[in-house]
Amino acid sequence: NAGVTQTPKFRVLKTGQSMTLLCAQDMNHEYMYWYRQDPGMGLRLIHYSVGEGTTAKGEVPDGYNVSRLKKQNFLLGLESAAPSQTSVYFCASSYSNFGTSGQFFGPGTRLTVL
């Protein structure tokens, strides 16, 4: 039981490049989330999904897209990376509504956009 895994762990992009971050969970959780963490600002929700085939915007969705084609996977895409997207990205999952059963987090992806 690996829990929540994220790929890759580190990535450096140039402005304008695109990339996809992959999140996978093996706990059969319905809900999955993408957050970004910036110094002094805590975690902010980018997008989330309440089940396979569904996605919804969070607090800071601009510049990102997501897909949930399979229940166990949640992908975060950056179509044209900007330096403001330099951050640590965390994926999380939960069995039911946000936090009711507790969210489980992945180890994070550190992204630098030059």
Partner 1 sequence: KQEVTQIPAALSVPEGENLVLNCSFTDSAIYNLQWFRQDPGKGLTSLLLIQSSQREQTSGRLNASLDKSSGRSTLYIAASQPGDSATYLCAVEYGNKLVFGAGTILRVKS
Nearer to partner 1, 63 or 108 (CB): 108
Phi then psi for residue 49, to 5 deg, are -140, 135
Contact 74, 91 (CB under 8 A): yes
Nearer to partner 1, 15 or 100 (CB): 100
Phi then psi for residue 59, to 5 deg, are -75, -35
Residue 64 is encoded by which pair of tokens? 């990102």
Min CB(59)–partner 1 separation in Å:
7
Q: Which residues are at the interface with partner 1 (CB under 8 A)?
A: 4, 33, 40-45, 58-59, 90, 92, 97-100, 102-108, 110
Nearer to partner 1, 19 or 45 (CB): 45
